[in-house]
Structure 1
Amino acid sequence: MIRSIVWTSERIPSTEYAVLDEDLNGFTLRGVVICSPSDGPMRIDYHVLLNPRWETTSVSVTTTNSEGVRDFIIVPDASHNWHVNGQEIPAYRGCIDIDLGFSPVTNTLPIRRLGLKVGHSADVEAAWLQYPGFAFVRLPQRYTHLSEQTYIYESQNGGFRAQLDIDEHGLVETYEGIWRTAAIS
């Protein structure tokens, strides 16, 4: 294990435990979110596999609430065609990164993959699993590296903007106005 972290949300009552691991095949991000959106308590388990270049190779998300259990198996192929539970999602074609809307954990992917120098920006398009609702949307994003451990994240064509403070592994410690670190090791 490289790092474990606990986040709390300032928007929706939630706590998340996440782990970043590395092995010969690349990296793994896995975690569990316990949250209470307006429609009642929910547990979200996720597992994201990445190759050594920080490109998404597979994602599994399981939600559990009073309505039951929902599983999402999200797999991009080598040509960046994405499939969710076996069905291709044409809107995701060409995306490299997954963005799990219920967690700051997937901001690590483009931060690590892009390796931006301070003062530089890059645009990416992410395969976004929205939260709440769990709809599948293509999301244009921009990352700007402000200082050694600070980025500006923008999405929705500049309609959303937040400062991200990261650790030495690229994990978000503070996501302005939304998440903050409660514990890290």
Structure 2
Amino acid sequence: MTGKTVATITWRALYCEGQDTCRLARADHGWLLVGHARFHDDDGFAALDYVVRCSEDWQTLDADIAGTHGEMDVRLHIDHRNGEWLLNETPQPGLKDATDIDLSFTPATNLMPLRRLAKQQDDTLTTRAAWLRYPAATLAPLDQTYKRTQTYGVIDYRAEQTDYTTTLEVNDAGFVTDYPGLWHAEDQHVPL
């Protein structure tokens, strides 16, 4: 699992003690997000490594999450094939129209819809994500809307199922740099 790194970022968590470091790499037939999330929560210390594989047009193909959280070993494989989402080979219902994965413990997975938004003419992108509501080992639908504002690099965001709205700041690579109350970029390298 190699690729040419095109951008890196490190976020500091604002809702708990933690950080996440991620790299975006160009692979032979698409893109890779490779990250390392470390945080403390009510279940203890979490050390989660993740890899998300995407097609050339930023559609999620699959994802792996591995590590530890408190006393628990974490090993999750998420596969998106033939319009179906599987979590550790178990079909997940209600996700037929989902094109993205959303890993709840990292802002990294906002990148895919943000990259698609940057490539389209319309100012609004509405998409359905397969939402891993970690630490639960299930996927649920999450309908998301990303809308360009008049200010470069500022995106209005809404998640329908949680009735959550905010304004995101985004860098040229498509990574969120400020996710109010949740994440803030501490270091980033975007040599695009």
TM-score over 0.5 for the alignment? Answer: yes
Give yes or no for the alignment of 1:48 onto 2:52. Answer: yes
- Report the Cα distance in structure 1 between the residues aligned to 2:86 and 2:183, rounded to whole angstroms: 29
Give yes or no for the alignment of 1:83 onto 2:75. Answer: no
* Residues 108 and 38 of structure 1: CA distance in aligned 2, closer, same or farther (over 3 Å): same
Give yes or no for the alignment of 1:131 onto 2:134. Answer: yes
Work out which of the residue numbers 147, 150, 153 in structure 2 matches 1:149. 153
Which position in structure 1 is the counterpart of 2:165? 161
* Residues 37 and 88 of structure 1: CA distance in aligned 2, closer, same or farther (over 3 Å): same
Q: Which amino acid aligns with 2:68?
A: T
Further displaced range: 139-148 or 48-57? 139-148
Further displaced range: 122-131 or 151-160? 151-160
- Report the Cα distance in structure 2 between the residues aligned to 1:133 and 1:75, rounded to whole angstroms: 17
Q: Which amino acid aligns with 2:125?
A: A
Q: Which amino acid aligns with 1:110?
A: P
Whether the 8 Å contact between 1:61 and 1:72 is mirrored in structure 2 is: yes
- Report the Cα distance in structure 1 between the residues aligned to 2:180 and 2:15, rounded to whole angstroms: 11
Work out which of the residue numbers 153, 173, 182 in structure 2 matches 1:178. 182
Which position in structure 2 is the counterpart of 1:102? 105
Whether the 8 Å contact between 1:53 and 1:113 is mirrored in structure 2 is: yes
Return the offset for 1:116: 4.4
Over the matched positions of the two proteins, sequence identity in percent amounts to: 26
Residue by residue over 1:98-121, the C-alpha shift from the partner in whole angstroms, topping out at 9 and shown as x without a partner, is: 001011101111111233447x22
Q: Which amino acid aligns with 2:180?
A: E
Whether the 8 Å contact between 1:162 and 1:177 is mirrored in structure 2 is: no
Q: Which amino acid aligns with 2:107?
A: P
Residue by residue over 1:119-163, the C-alpha shift from the partner in whole angstroms, topping out at 9 and shown as x without a partner, is: x22221110001343442111111111132111111135720111
| TM, length-normalised to structure 1 | 0.92
Work out which of the residue numbers 66, 70, 80 in structure 1 matches 2:74. 70
The gaps in structure 2 that reach 5 residues or longer are none
* Residues 13 and 3 of structure 1: CA distance in aligned 2, closer, same or farther (over 3 Å): same
Whether the 8 Å contact between 1:61 and 1:71 is mirrored in structure 2 is: yes
Q: What is the RMSD computed on CA atoms of the aligned residues?
A: 1.6
- Report the Cα distance in structure 2 between the residues aligned to 1:93 and 1:111, rounded to whole angstroms: 21
Give yes or no for the alignment of 1:10 onto 2:2. Answer: no
Whether the 8 Å contact between 1:126 and 1:139 is mirrored in structure 2 is: yes
* Residues 176 and 116 of structure 1: CA distance in aligned 2, closer, same or farther (over 3 Å): farther
